[in-house]
Amino acid sequence: MISGTIWNADLGNGKYRNPILYADYSDPDVIRVGGDYFMTASSFCNAPGLPLLHSKDLVNWKVVNYIIDEIPNARYQAPIHGCGVWAPSIRYHAGTYFVCFPMPDEGIYMSTATDPFGKWSEPVNIRPGAGWIDPCPFWDEDGRAYLVAGVAKSRIGYKSVLHMVEMQPDGMGLIGEEVKIFDGNENDQVTIEGPKMYKRNGWYYIFAPAGGVKTGWQTVLRSREVFGPYEYKVVMRQGESPVNGPHQGAWVDTVTGEDWFVHFQDVYAAGRITHLQPMSWREDDWPIIGVAKDGNDYGEPVLEYRKPDVGPIDTVICEPAASDDFKEGRLGLQWQWNANPRSEWFALSGSGMQLSAVYKDAVYGDMPNLLLQKWPAPEFSCITRMDLSGLEDKDEAGVISMGMRYGVLTFRREGNRLLPYYVNGVQKYGKILPDMTEEDETALAAIAWEQTKEIYVRYTVKQTGTQDLNSNEKGFPLELVTLEYSTDGGSYQKAGEMNAVPGRWVGVKNGVFCASANKGSRGCARIISVTYSR
């Protein structure tokens, strides 16, 4: 495994900067168990799904596991962009870890483990059917359990409503009638979603963002009764900060009694990045997230702050892995496939990762065997070193920048020549799924076959300004992606560039693939290393 710092929030002086993760860990939920913090996040159609991150101090995080190896439905053998695993929740109760997650077309699922670093149980669909999203389980002191959830208008026909239902104490099913506990359409909390439930001082609290991902705020509901009625207050707004949204997240405490809030910010191409905010309580038992200014009863996000007091621990400054030399005997946890994977797609050895030439029967963006990872920073360079000498005639391998607009640099073997092509693709969406995808390709100068022992592809992301997306007056970063290639690792030739556009609910990912126009191909490409730098 190649190591290197790409983005780290720990300033090394007792302070941290936001975001704590400049990567697309969308819809984060966090818990503390003893001195350990665990975070999970959405994964949509990528597999393995539901990444599990671990931290000792809420600032330094590593990916340590995935909750599911595959998305639990046969249709995810192909990528279904924007569908699959949406916003999850993670809880710990009576010695068991629970992750509850929605699939908006299939239902609400539950998976459990007694060891979060080990194998999680096969997910159980505890509420089959479309429409409910963002579920969160809650166990009360009397042993009874409940589930609160939002709704997806695209599946159920309405939005801005939260439901509550009693749940079996083991989390494996629901009991009784579902009750509408809050309707944001009846007040100023339109698009309320992502509820997370807690209890403090006899109050039941539901933390939920409203107002939309890019322009909204954090709302808290509270009641003395599980099923309400609930009153509400806005507890964090963007204010004068550059942190738009501030969207869905989790309240978590420390062993020393401090309160903190983890949430995401949508920054367009890079996706939904993760922030950590201080949290305090007013005398009337309403929280404030962030720092209140000028006597406001709500907070604004901080960009730099003192680190949480988590007690006497030895801090290890770290970040999720990005670079990889494939020498650890297993696929690195930074990698996800574009759909449910098959074991025959890849093999690992001491000399790198071998990708099999999978028959290509779809446009590049819809190939299931794309091996992808999240952008790790606002600006970076990634060099992929490949040996393509194992390609057979009509095989190809290359690098993709994957979003609703994507760029591909691919190398096809045609006889004793290697032909590079730059491909530009655009997914055009209907209500839920793409109506169509358009691709065009540009042929580049051929490479003699004897030069194919090693090919280097350099993928560079640079911020070149801001863009107005009519949803944030401060503008979103304009990210320019450039793809170049070399046969010696020193002199690079530009293949193409584009302004990055995120995927459906996800940030841009970059990665590798190997494919073939021949169904019976036995060809392959060897990925020697993938190295990120700032």
Q: Which residues contact 520 (CB under 8 A, 6 or more apart)?
A: none
Q: How far apart are CA 292 and CA 301, in angstroms?
A: 9
- E-only strand ranges, 403-448: 405-414, 417-429, 434-443, 447-448
27 counts as catalytic: yes
For 413-463, the pLDDT digits (tens) are 999 899 999 999 999 988 787 778 999 999 999 998 887 779 999 999 999
Nearest-CA neighbor of 72 among 45, 99, 53? 45
55 confidence band (pLDDT: 50, 70, 90): very high
Q: Which residues pair with 457 in a beta bridge?
A: 384, 485
Beta strand 203-210 with 493-499 is unpaired
pLDDT at 294: 87
Catalytic residue among 29, 106, 193, 396: 193
Question: Region 395-411: what's the mean pLDDT?
Answer: 98
**Residue 268 confidence (pLDDT) above 80:** yes
The CATH architecture of the domain made up of 15-306 is 5 Propeller (2.115)
Query: How much is the pTM?
Result: 0.97
**Residue 33 confidence (pLDDT) above 80:** yes
Q: Which residues contact 275 (CB under 8 A, 6 or more apart)?
A: 18, 19, 20, 243, 246, 249, 262, 263, 264, 265, 301
Q: Which residues contact 141 (CB under 8 A, 6 or more apart)?
A: 199
In which element (H, E) is residue 26 found? Answer: none
Q: How far apart are CA 506 and CA 402, in angstroms?
A: 10
Task: Give start-end residues of each CATH 2.115.10.20 domain in the chain.
Answer: 15-306
183 counts as catalytic: no
CATH code for residues 336-533: 2.60.120.200
**One-letter-per-residue 3-state SS of 319-347:** CCCCCECCCCCCCCCCCEECCCCCHHHEE
For 357-388, the pLDDT digits (tens) are 999 999 999 999 999 999 999 999 999 999 99
Nearest-CA neighbor of 165 among 153, 179, 155, 152? 179
What are the C-alpha distances in Å from 429 to residues 322, 503, 508? 30, 11, 16
Catalytic residue among 24, 27, 106, 396: 27
**What DSSP character marks residue 451?**
G
Q: How far apart are CA 333 and CA 358, in angstroms?
A: 22
Decide: 286 and 203 in contact? Cβ < 8 Å: no
pLDDT at 2: 67
pLDDT at 299: 98
**What DSSP character marks residue 251?**
E
1 confidence band (pLDDT: 50, 70, 90): low
3 confidence band (pLDDT: 50, 70, 90): low
- Percent of the chain at pLDDT exceeding 90: 91
What are the C-alpha distances in Å from 206 to residues 27, 133, 194, 228, 291? 15, 15, 9, 11, 20
Question: Region 19-30: what's the mean pLDDT?
Answer: 98
pLDDT at 436: 86
5 confidence band (pLDDT: 50, 70, 90): confident
Phi, psi of 416 (to 5 degrees): -100, 30
Judged on CB neighbours under 10 Å (0-12, 13-18, 19+), 322 is buried
DSSP per-residue string spanning 471-499: S-TT-EEEEEEEEEEESSSSS-EEEEEEE
What are the C-alpha distances in Å from 394 to residues 237, 259, 337, 369? 54, 58, 23, 17
Q: Give residue for tokens 């009863």.
A: 297
Task: Give start-end residues of each CATH 2.60.120.200 domain in the chain.
Answer: 336-533
Question: Region 512-524: what's the mean pLDDT?
Answer: 97
For 104-146, the pLDDT digits (tens) are 999 999 999 999 999 999 999 999 999 999 999 999 999 999 9
